[in-house]
Structure 1
């Protein structure tokens, strides 16, 4: 078996067949060599249920016409694309988006509103809507940091890997849910646990699950407007340990869904102990910044450096900004970008002096090195001659092989039985 993929994700790139048509869907960025699909059995199960084509619950199809539909956590836009096609294009009297691109004050009840934490997922949704010939209306594509709709008639939830993100988003959406709101979650059986169901019950109301179909399951929740879920516990804050260099004892802010919300992970801790000191005026990128602790430590070590924090997660970028501002003050200069790695539209060739990177090796439930490879190639393009990429990673991932292939060099800065810190220089 190919170690870079999981068995459930290596099916051929077949179209998603739905009651409203067949859709050729892609992840973002699209790669013809990529075997990971942009949809799975959980997406298919939910769509068939909404059309009344399953035995998962009594009753006919879910009424969608004229109702405000919110799709939370749609990974690559499969649900949003199919439901937008089902609802048709916007009526002529529908309000346009505000000049800023944010939704208008009174959105019309047509088509779904997507809420996602993923920049890549949002880009994939736009491309999949275009591929399907469906009008793309950015006012219906929101992030987890945007103000949610004031009323939700149908809430469809793709269960995320992070239970914390689900908790935060259900708290944020609860005021818009009423007694008549249809709430349905979907996920693979490995993604839905007792703790998932308890979360729905604690925040929204009584919850039950369907039978499993093709290793996917649905979650049905009946909203109880009298339920008091209590305050949203996110974001979390904690103090860093005292022996990790310039960031010792500093405060970290973690919004829900950001890596290591409760404590510093051992890989980042190892990285912090071996970070380079940026030169005055150097442009330093914390790539895949998470809660921003690495970039904040670099700013503390090199006060004259220009820091840029980049992540594809909106929650992560918000965490990084709060971590940085908490420790360096509200007026300290820095950039915070939600982007696909070192997007060429944002980083000109030769515009960066130092990249600090702890690359992820999972995409939802799949193990893949595609993100790390994109981060490394983007770093090489954006770095100036003599610029450096510093990477921390699990020893077994073999990042040194990729870095030598790209840069022609790679030096081991530090290592222990589990992690390595590597340095590659653009010649």
Structure 2
């Protein structure tokens, strides 16, 4: 397997950001004998949270066929498809992307996965594997040591009789789980009420802030009532669990909110949050890379609490991409309302990409700005 041939595109690409790492290689090495045992029957191998295709394509290189995959970010799903094409795989030979659930895992005997940083995500995934995969399933879950914790062993131990730990190599390690427990069903998605905001939050495992409301979003909601009050529609970009979308729809009874997130878990959670707050018919949720599903100059209000990391990589390119998407979709005079950690100093970037930017509110940690989209130049 030529890992150097893999790319991250259409996800963020920059010096120092690789499409495969030592953890991917270790997972494939530790699972080699298990993969050899199931190489014949198609559909025995499932890959979960593969970053850009190294695990799925590596398993196929080891002889696996009919590989099923689930990647949370839509950009990772597309990167895998592009890498499969780059390696010359015919369309009908490529891994099949499926939603996280019974259809993905039914009959699986080997599961390869990158360990998520969220214990909630690990709990939801492990519960689904234990419930739906074959009773002889073996799970090879690996990651970089700096992102692993002993609590991950405990989470896997809740769902599996045995959890083995491999030797570390190149600052990576693999947990091997087997013997799925026959116990209570998974309780995901979960919900909780935020009494201060009067909002019910519903979330799948791994969604940013879970069933809570992060302090940046809470600060933003405190001033969002003044944002383009006569807009007929609004966009909740990088919507997460859908708190902003549900709050806006509740506060403005005639408003339609178009929410989007590249995460499958977020895109599944946001509609549930909307329904739980009685605004499901006015919140439209799309899994998308930015705002690719919306036309240019079509919206007067975009709201954003931008993530500043892509998986484990911290990079300003993520915010730059989202600001550019907001600028493209905003109609002239429309506004992007954004909350950000003050130390990131996004204001010059917002001025350059979107347009004139004013400070709406600031506290010791966060800044809320409103950036007005410039009118198009006659020569543009």
Aligned ranges 1:27-46 → 2 under 5 Å: 27-29=8-10, 33-46=14-27
Q: Alpha carbons of 1:404 and 1:184: their partners in 2 closer, same or farther (altered >3 Å)?
A: same
Give, in angstroms, the shift of residue 370 of structure 1. 1.6
What's 1:239 paired with? 193
Give the total of aligned pairs: 371
The aligned counterpart of 1:410 is 357
Structure 1 residues 60-139: aligned runs within 5 Å: 63-66=38-41, 68-87=44-63, 110-137=65-92
Contact persistence 2:108–2:134 (CA under 8 A): yes
Deviations 1:30-65 (A, max 9, x none): 56645311111000112233346xxxxxx9965533
Q: Deviations over 1:150-169 (max 9, x none)?
A: 21111112111111111111
Question: By percentage of residues, which structure has more helix?
Answer: 2
Structure 2 equivalent of residue 252 of structure 1: 201
CA RMSD of aligned residues (A): 2.2
Scaled by the length of structure 2, what TM-score is found? 0.91
Cα drift, residue 292 of structure 1? 0.8
In structure 1, runs of 5+ residues without a counterpart are 1-17, 53-58, 89-109, 243-247
Unaligned runs of 5+ in 2: 375-380
1:400 Cα shift?
Answer: 0.6
* Cα distance in 2 between the residues matched to 1:26 and 1:194: 31
Q: Are 2:235 and 1:288 aligned? A: no
Matches within 5 A, 1:180-329: 180-224=136-180, 227-242=181-196, 248-275=197-224, 276-280=226-230, 282-329=232-279
4+ runs deviating over 6 angstroms: none
Deviation at 1:322, TM superposition (A): 0.9
Residues 1:76 and 1:155: Cα distance change in structure 2 (over 3 Å): same
Stretch deviating more after TM superposition (393-402 or 405-414): 405-414
Task: Note if contact 2:74-2:287 (Cα within 8 Å) is conserved in structure 1.
Answer: yes
1:144 aligned residue: 100
Tell me by how many angstroms 1:329 deviates.
4.2
Contact 2:203 2:269 in 1 (8 A): yes
TM-score (norm. length: structure 1)? 0.81
Q: 1:198 to 1:136 in 2, by over 3 A?
A: farther
Is 2:3–2:20's contact at 8 Å kept on the other side of the alignment? no
